[in-house]
């Protein structure tokens, strides 16, 4: 049996020194935003359900939305949704072999970051301000 020649690659286990390209950072943030949305979904559904139960609970949640920490958390959730949505469209296009070359992949990653941050600021201004 012929021996296989396997390249021995250097292992870099120092996470802080790894230099990821922008599409790699986009991929990691896409996964993190998906997990965050998934974990917050039961809480959001409970809030929506409780807020339509009675006018008193709606007033309670409306008062809670005035707190800056709650606004910051909701802004983070809006960003997570916008980022996950925009990156998902990018990955659908990549699955259809659109923009798979390196310059296009880098450019589409920049576009996803720009569009998701812009949509977050617009929605935050409309919904939370």
Query: Domain spans of the chain?
Result: 21-127
Give the pLDDT score at 10: 73
State pTM to two decimals: 0.82
What separation, in Å, do the N-terminal and C-terminal C-alpha atoms of the chain show?
70
Predicted confidence band of residue 3 (pLDDT cuts 50, 70, 90): low
What CATH number belongs to 21-127?
A: 1.20.1300.10
What is the spatial distance between Cα 20 and Cα 85, in angstroms, rounded to a whole number?
A: 22
pLDDT tens digit sequence for 34-69 = 999 999 999 999 989 988 999 999 999 889 888 999
In 24-70, at which residue ranges do the beta strands (DSSP E only) sit?
A: none
């Amino acid at each position: 049996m012929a021996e296989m020649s396997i390249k021995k690659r250097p292992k870099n286990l120092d996470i802080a020194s790894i230099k990821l390209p922008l599409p790699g950072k986009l991929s990691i943030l896409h996964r993190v935003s998906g997990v965050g949305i998934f974990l917050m979904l039961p809480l959001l559904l409970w809030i929506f359900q409780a807020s339509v139960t009675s006018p008193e609970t709606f007033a309670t949640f409306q008062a809670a939305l005035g707190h800056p920490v709650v606004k910051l958390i909701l802004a983070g959730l809006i960003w997570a949704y916008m980022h996950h949505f925009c990156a998902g469209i990018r990955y659908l296009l990549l699955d259809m072999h659109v923009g798979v070359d390196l310059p296009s992949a880098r450019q589409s990653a920049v576009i996803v970051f720009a569009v998701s941050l812009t949509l977050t600021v617009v929605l935050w201004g409309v919904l939370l301000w």
